Amino acid sequence: MKKLLFTVFFLIYSLSYSQTSFGIKGGLLLANQELGSGITIAFDDEAKLSYYFGGFVEHKMSKFAIQGDISYVNFGFKSNLKRHSFDPSPNFKYKTDMHTLVVAVSAKYYIMDIISIGVGGYYGLNIGSDYIVNGTNYNSENKVLSKNNDFGFVSSADFEIYKGLFVEAKYYLGLADVNKEPVLNPYNGDYSAKNRAFALGAGYRF
């Protein structure tokens, strides 16, 4: 009975000193992919400049908080095709845009009232992919080269500038292979691709 009363008292006390806030955010994304050996023999992968935007809800209790957000994130990478010295074919530039709806949940700790750090996980739903070669978009609505699902870890740091206005830095570490294996794979190589992205943006907490 005493334990039950203590638990109820603790919950009431915690809720009385908690607060829930909502907000919007967005910014720039430096996106890349960790590629398997079957892909890197043909491509030099590079980070591409992209973007993200979305909304969030945060429930704060003293120095700790739980934050959930839903965002559009443009994952992918860009590359130059590797050519042999004896190959007369012109080089071409390649870029992948993975249009992804990301749902993330993070546990946050407030070092100060205006500074917090967080870590959590995310799930990404691929809602469409673009494969751009030398400026020509080979759009693939059925995502024949990409899988539908992605998941991984996410870490973040926030700094409140002034009355709800804040800046944030975030890193996505994808664990899922988002590439579909080629139908013809004569070398049985590693054709995996895992998302990596660093985000830098701003937002407003209502």
Sequence letter at residue 11: L
Q: How confident is the model at residue 3 (pLDDT cuts 50, 70, 90)?
A: low
- Domain segments of the chain as ranges: 16-205
| Minimum mean pLDDT range among 10-24, 39-53, 128-142, 185-199 | 10-24
Q: What is the mean pLDDT of residues 145-152?
A: 81
User: Which two structure tokens, joined as six digits, stand for 180?
Assistant: 């579909």
Would you state the pLDDT for residue 9?
45
Q: What percent of the chain has pLDDT over 70?
A: 71
Distance set, CA 51 to CA 73, 97, 130, 189, 198 (Å): 7, 11, 15, 32, 10
CA–CA separation, 104 and 154 (whole Å): 8
User: Which two structure tokens, joined as six digits, stand for 167?
Assistant: 């800046």
Across all residues in the chain, what is the average pLDDT? Answer: 80
Q: Which backbone phi and psi does 91 adopt, to 5 degrees? A: -70, 155
- Each residue's pLDDT tens digit, 84-99: 555 555 567 778 888 9
Would you state the pLDDT for residue 183?
45
User: Which two structure tokens, joined as six digits, stand for 4?
Assistant: 């039950």
CA 206, 49, 101: angle at the middle one, nearest 5?
A: 55
Q: What is the mean pLDDT of residues 33-47?
A: 66
Q: Which CATH architecture has domain 16-205?
A: Beta Barrel (2.40)
Would you state the pLDDT for residue 57?
94
Maximum C-alpha span of the chain: 83
